[in-house]
Structure 1
Amino acid sequence: MSQVTIYMDDDAMGRAKAAAAAARLSLSAWITKLVKEQASETDANGYPLGFFESIAANSHLWQDFPSSEELRANEVPDLPRESW
């Protein structure tokens, strides 16, 4: 287990202590719980765990979204680039 030193103003410290007491947790346990709730676990690439699974589970939501070819079908071709 690691130790961390943090600096807080008196108001923030008072709020943290009061919230920890109300939750019947030590200040350390309360801050640990807060961090785990606010910062999701990530995989080796920095994506939240379950990110790709949630996308796959919701893939039916964008099945009718047009393909890139359909989106670009009415675009005017680019002008030729100038040579320098």
Structure 2
Amino acid sequence: MSQVTIYMDDDAIARAKASAAAAQLSLSAWVSKLIKEQVPAVDANGYPAGFFDSIASSADQWADFPLAEDLRAHDVPDSPREAW
């Protein structure tokens, strides 16, 4: 378990201590619980936990979406570049 030092003004620390006491938690446990409730879990790359699983589970919804090659099949080719 790690330790963290934070700086808060007197009003904020008083409110945090009062909320922790009302929840019958230590200040450390209350802050930890607050962070876990308010901040979403992320994977090693910073994506929300389960993000890619949710994308993969709905992949069948995009089965009829055209491929990039099909979308570009009728594009007009770029003009040739000038030589310098």
Same fold (TM over 0.5): yes
How far apart are the structure 2 equivalents of 1:22 and 1:61? 47
How far apart are the structure 2 equivalents of 1:23 and 1:75? 64
List gaps (5 residues or longer) in structure 2. none
How far apart are the structure 2 equivalents of 1:4 and 1:36? 15
Amino acid paired to 1:40: A
Within the alignment, does 1:2 sit opposite 2:2 as a pair?
yes
Calculate percent identity across the aligned residue pairs. 66
Post-superposition offset of 1:32:
0.8
For 1:17, the equivalent position in structure 2 comes to 17
Post-superposition offset of 1:20:
2.6
How far apart are the structure 1 equivalents of 2:71 and 2:51? 27
Query: What is the total number of aligned residue pairs between the two structures?
Result: 83
List gaps (5 residues or longer) in structure 1. none
Runs of at least 4 residues of structure 1 off by over 6 A? none
How far apart are the structure 1 equivalents of 2:17 and 2:68? 54
How far apart are the structure 2 equivalents of 1:41 and 1:57? 19
Post-superposition offset of 1:73:
3.2
**1:76 to 1:23, Cα distance in 2 relative to 1, 3 A:** farther
For 2:33, the equivalent position in structure 1 comes to 33
For 2:43, the equivalent position in structure 1 comes to 42
For 2:60, the equivalent position in structure 1 comes to 60
Amino acid paired to 1:70: D
The answer (yes or no) to whether the contact 2:40–2:48 under 8 Å persists in 1 is: no
